[in-house]
Every structure is written in structure tokens, then in C-alpha cells.
């Protein structure tokens, strides 16, 4: 799968709209709401059946996705601030909350639903230099080195990954309410 060449054009998301996508257990897109189709620039037919990495921006360090997969493979939710890539090379920032769906009989993950909302500017401004540093470290020392750096960064700041992201998005209120409502609607 080839990705478009990134361009320096940010798509500003509406604060009043949300993006929802559903994948199978391996991350293959099964559903995307109208806003996901609109913002990504792909048609619904171009998205369905493709890996969700179709919208992965090269400015995102691989460690971010390793953390995500480690967590959701355990059946746990994961929230992240993500820069995504649209079909035309533009980018857009989201706060993403993943929720795995578990088969009640086999206890295995059968799908993942991702709920996304526009990321607050404070979160974007904070993550840009962190992601750039992690990318530089990955180029030199691989993902293991970037994971060590991230763990050290969190320890130095006396926080966990979850608390760090929650603080950036102000998750004490609106984002928690929003993601809880979305999960009720789509479950």
C-alpha cells in the first residue's frame, strides 16, 4: 500500500463532529462513518478492506502504534493523540479512543472501534516535539530505543502515559463524556 506524499496543509476538524471507524481484530477497516470518509478524502469503497494504517502519517512514531496494539490486544481501551494523513497528503489531528470488542464465548477480540474527536491545540503543540524526538530516536536506535526514551520521559515527569494524555486533552470532563456517549451509541 502506497501512502500519499505529505503536504503542509492541516485539515481543521469540527469541534461538533466525530469520526468513527471499526476494524477487524487485525486492523482492517470494516466501517467508517461519513465524517471519516469526508476528512480522509478516500471513498468508502477505498477504505473498506484496507488496513487502518492507510491514514497513518509518517510524522507519527512507530512506538505510538506499538503501545496502542499492546494495549488493545489485551482487550483494554487506549487513548492517543494522533496525526493522520488524508488521501491528498493533508493532515489532521485527533484524540482517539479505541475500544476492543470481545467475543463472549471465545473471549477473543473480534473487532476494534475507534472514536475520534478534534485534538485540542494544547495537545497538538505538546505532542509535535515529542513525536519528532521519538522519530529521531527510532531512526538511530529503533523502536526499542524510542520506547526507553518515552518511559524515561514519563518517569521524569512523574506520570503515566494515560495520565499524560488525559491531562493534555482535559479528559476530566468533556472528552470522557463524549467517548462514553459514543461507546453507548455504537455498542
Q: Where are the domains of the chain?
A: 19-120+171-186
Helix (H) and strand (E) counts in the chain:
6, 5
Instruction: Render pLDDT for 23-72 as a digit per residue (tens, 0 to 9).
Output: 999 999 999 999 999 999 999 999 999 999 999 999 999 999 999 889 88
The CATH architecture assigned to 19-120+171-186 reads 2-Layer Sandwich (3.30)
Instruction: Render pLDDT for 86-112 as a digit per residue (tens, 0 to 9).
Output: 999 999 999 998 888 889 999 999 999
- CA–CA gap between residue 107 and residue 116 (Å, rounded): 26
Q: Which three cell numbers stand for residue 23?
A: 476494524
| Residue 114's pLDDT band (cuts 50, 70, 90) | very high
In sequence order, the 6+-apart residues with CB closer than 8 A to the CB of 33 are: 18, 19, 20, 21
Assess contact for 93 and 41: CB atoms under 8 A. Answer: no
Phi, psi of 137 (to 5 degrees): -65, -40
Amino acid at each position: 500500500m502506497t501512502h500519499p506524499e505529505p503536504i503542509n496543509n492541516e485539515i481543521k476538524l469540527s469541534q461538533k463532529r466525530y469520526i468513527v471507524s471499526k476494524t477487524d481484530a487485525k486492523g482492517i477497516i470494516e466501517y467508517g462513518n461519513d465524517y471519516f470518509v469526508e476528512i480522509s478524502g478516500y471513498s468508502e469503497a477505498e477504505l473498506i478492506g484496507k488496513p487502518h494504517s492507510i491514514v497513518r502519517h509518517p510524522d507519527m512514531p512507530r512506538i505510538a502504534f506499538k503501545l496502542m496494539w499492546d494495549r488493545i490486544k489485551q482487550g483494554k481501551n487506549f487513548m492517543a493523540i494522533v496525526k493522520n494523513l488524508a488521501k491528498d497528503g493533508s493532515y489532521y489531528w485527533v484524540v482517539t479512543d479505541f475500544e476492543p470488542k470481545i467475543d463472549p464465548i471465545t473471549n477473543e477480540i473480534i473487532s476494534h472501534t475507534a472514536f475520534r474527536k478534534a485534538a485540542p491545540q494544547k495537545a497538538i503543540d505538546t505532542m509535535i516535539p515529542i513525536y519528532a524526538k521519538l522519530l529521531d530516536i527510532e531512526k538511530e536506535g529503533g523502536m526499542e530505543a524510542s520506547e526507553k526514551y518515552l518511559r524515561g520521559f514519563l518517569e521524569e515527569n512523574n506520570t503515566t502515559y494515560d495520565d499524560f494524555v488525559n491531562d493534555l486533552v482535559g479528559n476530566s470532563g468533556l472528552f470522557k463524556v463524549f467517548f462514553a456517549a459514543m461507546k453507548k451509541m455504537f455498542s
